[in-house]
């Protein structure tokens, strides 16, 4: 799922090569804005604005494909049984396995949110219709909560099983597993960033004027950035939070919200992915995907033929993939 785990920490235990090589590429039916999902076997699941969801082997061979009735902006999520869940602009949440639709659930508007798969099998997703939905694996509705504004942020799991999610109105909601709102906190500007949950249950996310750390419904810290933060933060094993803003600046932030380092990229940066040794993979609107050191120094880069909006995803053997707005999915190792 987007963010690698239910806490959306975007960190892998796998190491990536210091000088990765392009292994294969796959052309989809439209621009790729969603991060791919990778299962335990290394199979890759990628979606595009052409409405296609493709499953590829670790060598880039097509295993199956499925076409939704509208563009797919948000990342798919893969369950242990191979079921792939994703939302589409066609206003549905889909469950697909081996290229066959198991069910689809009608949302109240477009789906720009990536589904959260909880340990008890519940699928949680937000919609532009101002609701958060929880569904059972059968596709039956468990609960729906109205949050008062569009949801483009993806839900994230807290340690006790509650979820947190942001809205376009700048509100962060905490909702329990029965669908009751526990608290909400407002910050300036919209929250399009998907929150991550740190090991002490601090919720970290981007807003209109920077990066926030919230715990128990209160803002613990705020780091002001040069422009709004719509990308989603990643958490390194040493506690550094890595996140980029709209000017292409990438920040390394301590658990207390203090700036550790920053790096300037050639355009709006994607969300980062953290490798097992702390190195950072990040793509940008200048058409480059980069590998950074744990302190933000560029170690390697690759120039594609189109800008990047999607973020890299790291597989179990260190192979990573990233899709471009040219509709090409690239795999490196």
**Secondary structure string (H, E, C) spanning 15-33:** CCCCCCCEEEEEECCCCCC
One DSSP character per residue, 50-102 reads TSEEEEE-TTS-EEEEEE-SS---SPPEE-TTS-EEEE-TTSEEEEEETTEEE
What residues contact 5, with CB distance under 8 A and at least 6 apart?
none
- Alpha helix segments (H runs only) across the chain: none
Q: What is the pLDDT of residue 189?
A: 84
> Residues 6 or more apart from 281 whose CB is under 8 A from it?
16, 272, 273, 274, 275, 289, 290, 291, 292, 312, 314, 320, 322
Question: How much is the average pLDDT of 156-167?
Answer: 98
Q: How far apart are CA 279 and CA 16, in angstroms?
A: 8
pLDDT tens for 106-136 read: 999 999 999 999 999 999 999 999 999 999 9
Distance, in Å, from the CA atom of 19 to the CA atom of 168, rounded to the nearest integer, reads 39
Overall average pLDDT of the 215-244 stretch: 96
- Contact partners, residue 285, CB within 8 Å, separation at least 6: 248, 266, 267, 268, 269, 307, 308, 309
Over the chain, what is the mean pLDDT?
96
Q: Supply the pLDDT for residue 259.
A: 98
Statement: residue 208 has pLDDT above 90: yes
User: What is the radius of gyration, based on Cα positions, of the chain?
Assistant: 18
pLDDT of 268: 83
- State residue 324's pLDDT score: 98
User: For position 269, what pLDDT does the model report?
Assistant: 84
Structural contact between residues 299 and 291, judged by C-beta atoms closer than 8 angstroms: yes
Q: Name the pTM for this structure.
A: 0.97
Mean pLDDT, residues 91-109? 97
Burial class (CB in 10 A: 0-12, 13-18, 19+), 19: exposed
Do residues 147 and 127 touch, judged by C-beta distance below 8 A? no
pLDDT at position 266, please? 77
Give the bridge partners for 281, in sequence order.
273, 291
Q: Establish how many alpha carbons lie within 13 A of residue 141's alpha carbon, considering only the half-sphere containing its beta carbon.
A: 12
**Backbone conformation region of residue 72, classed left if phi is above 0, alpha if psi is from -120 to 50, else beta:** beta
Closest CA to 13 of 240, 332, 325, 317: 317
As its CATH architecture, domain 22-332 has 7 Propeller (2.130)
């Amino acid at each position: 799922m987007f963010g690698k785990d239910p806490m959306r920490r975007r960190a892998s235990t796998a190491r990536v090569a210091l000088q990765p090589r392009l292994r294969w590429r796959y052309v989809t039916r439209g621009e790729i804005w969603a991060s791919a999902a990778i299962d335990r076997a290394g199979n890759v699941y990628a979606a595009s604005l052409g409405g296609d969801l493709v499953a590829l082997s670790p060598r880039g061979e097509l295993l199956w494909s499925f076409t939704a009735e509208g563009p797919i902006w948000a990342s798919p999520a893969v369950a242990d049984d191979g079921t792939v869940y994703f939302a589409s602009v066609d206003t549905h949440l889909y469950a697909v396995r081996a290229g066959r639709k198991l069910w689809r659930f009608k949302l109240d508007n477009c789906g720009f949110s990536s589904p959260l798969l909880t340990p008890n099998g519940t699928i949680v997703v937000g919609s532009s219709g101002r609701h958060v939905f929880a569904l059972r694996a059968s596709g039956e509705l468990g609960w729906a909560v109205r949050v008062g504004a569009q949801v483009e942020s993806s839900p994230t799991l807290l340690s006790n099983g509650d979820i947190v999610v942001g809205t376009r109105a700048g509100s962060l909601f905490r909702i329990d597993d029965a669908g009751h709102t526990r608290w909400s906190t407002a910050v300036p500007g919209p929250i399009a960033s998907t929150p991550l949950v740190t090991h002490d249950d601090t919720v970290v996310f981007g807003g209109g004027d920077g990066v926030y750390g919230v715990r128990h419904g209160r803002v613990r810290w705020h780091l002001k950035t040069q422009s709004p933060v719509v990308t989603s933060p990643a958490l390194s094993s040493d506690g550094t939070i890595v996140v980029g803003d709209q000017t292409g600046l990438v920040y390394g932030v301590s658990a207390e919200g203090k700036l550790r380092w920053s790096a300037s990229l050639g355009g709006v940066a994607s969300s980062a992915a953290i490798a097992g040794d702390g190195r950072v993979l990040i793509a940008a609107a200048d058409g480059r995907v980069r590998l950074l050191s744990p302190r933000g120094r560029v170690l390697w880069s690759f120039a594609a033929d189109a800008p990047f909006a999607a973020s890299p995803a790291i597989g179990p053997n260190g192979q990573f993939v990233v899709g471009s707005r040219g509709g090409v999915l690239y795999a490196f190792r």
